[in-house]
Amino acid sequence: MSVTILGIESSCDDTSAAIVRDGFLLSNRIANQDVHRFFGGVVPELASRAHQQNIIPVVDLAMKEAGVKPNEISAVAFTRGPGLMGSLLVGASFSKGFAVARNIPLIAVNHLQGHVLALFVRRPTDNRQPITDNFQPSFPFLCLLVSGGHTQILIVRDHLDMEMIGQTIDDAAGEAFDKCGKVIGLPYPAGPVIDKLAKEGDPLAFTFSRPRISDLNYSFSGLKTSFLYFLRDRLREDPGFIGKNLNSLCASLQYTIVEILLNKLRQASKQTGIREIGLAGGVSANSALKAAVQAEAVKRRWNVCIPELAYTMDNAAMIAMTGYYKYLKGEFAGQDVAPLARM
C-alpha cells in the first residue's frame, strides 16, 4: 500500500505544504510573507497572523496540485521546531486538527533535520517533467547546514541518524549576510541580493576580520562588527562610499563568509576522513559558496551534493520527506506534542 504524507512547514515566515507519496514529491506550495520586507527582518506577531491566513489555502493548493484527496493521506508531518513559537503553533495546531479529523498519525519533524533531507527530495516521472533522478549523497556524509538561523556541520549516517560536530557560537551565516546587508541599505533578506550584486564586484577589494575559533565551531559576530567599523571609518572620509562601492562591498563580504564556511568544512573532512559532502539550508543557494565547494571538490576528490534551489529555502517538501522516513520507522507523535522554539 502506498504511503502519502502531507508536510507542513511554518517555522519562520514561509507557510508551506507539500505532498510526498512513496518517497516522491508530488507538490510543494509556499506562501511567502512580503509584509516583513518593510521592517528589515521577520516580525514574529505578523508572521503568525500571516500563517493563520495562508495555511488552509496553501494546503488546499498542495493537495489539488498533487491530485490527492484528504482520505488518501496516510499521516501529517509538521515542523515542531526550532523556530518562532507563534509561527510553529499555527502549523502544529493545523496538523493536530487534521490528524484527529482523519484519524491518521501525526509526525513531529525537526526543521534542521528537514533541511538535511532536502538533499533526498525526488520528483516522480510524469508527462510534464523529465525524469529527475536527483543526485543524492551516500552515507555517511558531512552536511554543511547554513541558514538564517543555523550554521552547523553534521555527520549524517542515515536519513534519521545525524551527529552535530560543529556549530556557530553566535550568529548564523545567513544572519551575517542579512545584518551586514541591512547596514548597507539592502532589503531583507539581504543574502540573495548580496549574491547578485557581488557578481559585479571585486571579492578582494576589502578585507574583514576572520574568527579564531577552535574545533569545528563557527562565529560570525566579529565579522559583523568589523564590517560595521570599516564602514563607519570610510563613511567619515566619504559619505558616498557605500553607493560607489556597493558591488565590491558585497563581493568582499560574501568572499569572507564563504572562506570561513569552507575552512571548517575542509577541517571536518580531514578530521573524519569523509569526502562525501552535502550542503543544505537557505545559504546553500549562494552561488559563490557553491562554486567554492565545487572547486574544493576537484582538489580534494569530494563528492558534493546540493539540493535543488527550491528546496534550499524553507519549504514543506523537506518536512514531508522527513515525515516519510519517520513514517517508515513508526516514529509518531501524540496529540500532546508541543512545538519547541529551540531543539
Query: What radius of gyration, in Å, describes the C-alpha atoms of the chain?
Result: 20
Q: Which residue is nearest to ligand KG4 (CB)?
A: 282
Nearer to Zn ion, 269 or 284 (CB): 284
Side-chain half-sphere exposure of 333, counting CA atoms within 13 A? 22
Contact 222/171 with Cβ under 8 angstroms?
no
- Name the segment binding ligand KG4 (CB under 6 A); options: 99-107, 160-168, 282-290, 292-300: 282-290
Q: Does 286 bind ligand KG4 (CB under 6 A)?
A: yes
13 binds, among Zn ion, ligand KG4, none (CB under 5 to 8 A by kind): none
- Residues 9 to 48 in contact with ligand KG4, rule: CB under 6 A: 12
State the Cα angle at 126 between 121 and 129, rounded to 5°.
70
- Residues 110 to 169 in contact with Zn ion, rule: CB under 5 A: 147
Smallest gap, in angstroms, from Cβ of residue 287 to ligand KG4?
6
313 binds, among ligand KG4, Zn ion, none (CB under 5 to 8 A by kind): ligand KG4
Nearer to Zn ion, 26 or 313 (CB): 313
Q: Whole-angstrom Cα distance, residue 262 to residue 135?
A: 21
Amino acid 264 reads K
Q: Environment class of residue 310 by beta-carbon count within 10 Å: exposed (0-12), middle (13-18) or buried (19+)? A: middle
Please work out the total of residues on this chain that contact Zn ion, with binding judged by CB under 5 A. Answer: 2
* Three-class DSSP category at 198: helix
- Residues 77 to 136 in contact with ligand KG4, rule: CB under 6 A: none
Q: Does 149 bind ligand KG4 (CB under 6 A)?
A: yes
Q: Whole-angstrom Cα distance, residue 235 to residue 242?
A: 8
Smallest gap, in angstroms, from Cβ of residue 317 to Zn ion?
12
- Residues 301 to 330 in contact with ligand KG4, rule: CB under 6 A: 313-314
| Single residue of 81, 114, 166, 191 touching ligand KG4 by CB under 6 A | 191
Smallest gap, in angstroms, from Cβ of residue 126 to ligand KG4?
27
Give me the helix-helix angle, 173-183 and 241-272, nearest 10°: 170
State the Cα angle at 299 between 294 and 300, rounded to 5°.
95
Q: Does 255 bind ligand KG4 (CB under 6 A)?
A: no
- Residues 296 to 335 in contact with Zn ion, rule: CB under 5 A: 314
Q: Whole-angstrom Cα distance, residue 12 to residue 96?
A: 19
Q: Which residues are registered as beta bridge partners of 27? A: 19
Positions touching Zn ion (CB under 5 A) are: 147, 314
